[in-house]
Structure 1
């Protein structure tokens, strides 16, 4: 359904000569990403409202989208797989945050942040076969991903020790960074394209 919707939008743009037919596949892929991101975001926000975890949900979504847009990594074959994986990551993080005592969150959160930052700093960006990157794009996304992860990691590390944000927010963000680092490692372990530049 998602693929068909993206193809329909692209067809309309090609028919009206807004885009060139040679760029059709790129636009289909781009529309699939946009539509799936919006759908998953709306679903997670509804779940956050139902579970009374709107603030944690917003921090999860923001961290996830910001980092995933520059790190690359594993992508499910179909939208349904992406939907399920993202939802399971989100629910797992909420459950872990709920079950873990606050006194352990700072130590574990900092471990997650340090390990995940190292992984993302070293491996990003990891290409997806549907969206290959030129050498200039690799350099650009490597720089962006490194700056982004260092800024987020620094803010969360300070947050853990100064209480300028709640321990739950800091821990959710550290878990989200961990999840993204795992999604970054998967294609590398499977022998996919990676950039160590």
Structure 2
């Protein structure tokens, strides 16, 4: 579905002379990503608005996007699966905020943060089948990942000290989510190197 819309947009732009025909595949791929991100973001915010957790979801997205961009992680082959996963993740987060996240002791959250940060620090960035990273990209993204991770870690420390748990917990959740995606992508990459090639 997303690919069809992307193809229509690109076809119109080719007909109007905005883009060249030989770049069609690249633009279709780019528009697929763009449309998928918009739909995914809208769906996450809609779920949050319906459940009264818009602030928490917005904070999660602000923390998640830069770290995920540089650390990498698992990608789905189809945009629809990404949107579905984002919705599922949003529902789990909303349920967590409404039930358990606020009552889990801070030392448990800090334990989750330490584990997540160590794994992201040592494993990221990871490429995927759709986006392989060359050595230069790995070095650049590794530095950027660490800068974002350290910045967010200092925000956690400051917010914990100032007793602003919603921000601390949200960033820790972000790190746990990114850690999961990074570990899964890393395992898939190892499996493909060992058994597929």
TM-score range normalised by the length of the shorter chain: 0.7 to 0.9
How far did residue 37 of structure 1 move?
A: 1.0
User: Gaps (5+ residues) in structure 2?
Assistant: none
Cα RMSD, aligned residues only:
2.4
How far did residue 15 of structure 1 move?
A: 4.6
Aligned ranges 1:6-45 → 2 under 5 Å: 6-45=6-45
For the structure 1 residues 123 and 98, does the alpha-carbon distance in structure 2 shift closer, same or farther, using more than 3 Å as the test? Answer: same
Aligned ranges 1:158-197 → 2 under 5 Å: 158-163=158-163, 166-191=164-189
Aligned ranges 1:34-113 → 2 under 5 Å: 34-100=34-100, 102=102, 104-113=104-113
- The normalised TM-score by structure 1 is 0.84
Indicate conservation of the 8 Å contact 1:71/1:141, yes or no.
yes
Are 1:152 and 2:144 counterparts?
no
User: Gaps (5+ residues) in structure 1?
Assistant: none
Indicate conservation of the 8 Å contact 1:60/1:90, yes or no.
no
Indicate conservation of the 8 Å contact 1:124/1:145, yes or no.
yes
Q: Which moved more, 1:47-56 or 1:4-13?
A: 4-13
Indicate conservation of the 8 Å contact 1:10/1:24, yes or no.
yes
Paired residues in the alignment total 192
